[in-house]
Each structure stands twice: as structure tokens, then as C-alpha cells.
Amino acid sequence: MGRIHSLSQKSEIRRFVKFCLVGGSGVLVNMFFLWFFTEKAKFYYLLSSLIAIEISVLSNYVLNDLWTWHDRGKEGKTEYFKRMLQYHLSSSAAILANLSILWLLTELAHIYYLISNLFGILCGTFLNYFLNDRWTFKHRRQV
């Protein structure tokens, strides 16, 4: 019994590491597009953040579905897009945290918006993993 629990625990640690690696790529995507839309397209930084978040959420979903939770969920287009919707809904708490912290740190603490954004991203990581692990990707794939 202890050995099975140990293997299960190692599997979950590996899954969390994969989630963090995908999240790391999402941070790069998010930061680039936040910078691009704010500095080059001259959008207000909060609007830029919304666009950047959406692009990174889509990128992260695709990578997490293919790699982090590849062993879960049903096959087919309908199931894929259902998981995508669930992923977006699960991410909404992290998105709210990100935008709130971005605004608070930038406007009230006068921290550069890209640095504030990093703090916002960090705050949502654990919540995002938990919600996606327990809801979006909870089912085993049927082969």
C-alpha cells in the first residue's frame, strides 16, 4: 500500500512539474504580449493584459492537454472543446488575481507593470493547478 501511494505521489509531483514548465512558457507568452500590446500597439496596460492572458491561457491549455494531463479526458473534438471551456473557467480565478495584483501594484505601489504582472501570475499558479487537476482533467482517457 505504501509503495502504491509513493508511486502515486511521485506521479502527481511529475504532473505538477510539467504544469509549472507549461506555466513557465505561458509566462513568457504572457509577458511578451503584455509588453507588445502596451509598448508597440499603445494599448492601455490592463487591456493589453487581458489580451496577453487570453493568448497564454490558450497556449497553456493546448500544452497541458497534450502533455501534463495527456492521460486524462475523453477523445474527440467535443470533449476537447469542453475541456478548453472548463480550463478557461478554472483559470478565471487566476485571471482575476492576476489583473487585481497587476492593477494594485502598478497603480498603488507604483511598481513597473511587467514586474507587477509577474507577481499576479505567481499568485494564481497553485489555485489554477488544483482546479484544473480536479475538474478540467479529472477523467481518465478511454482508449
Q: Is residue 41 a part of any domain in this protein?
A: yes
Q: Give the count of domains, the chain.
A: 1
Query: Model pTM greater than 0.85?
Result: no
Q: Is residue 132 a part of any domain in this protein?
A: yes
The three-state secondary structure class of 79 is helix
pLDDT tier for residue 102 given thresholds of 50, 70 and 90: very high
CA distance 58 to 75: 19
Mean of the pLDDT values across residues 27-39? 97
Q: Is residue 6 a part of any domain in this protein?
A: no
The whole-chain average pLDDT of the chain stands at: 88
Q: Is residue 56 a part of any domain in this protein?
A: yes
Q: Is residue 4 a part of any domain in this protein?
A: no
Structural domain for 38, as ranges: 15-136
CA distance 50 to 98: 10
Range with lowest mean pLDDT among 52-56, 80-84, 93-97, 111-115: 93-97
What are the tens digits of pLDDT across the range 53-64?
999 999 999 999
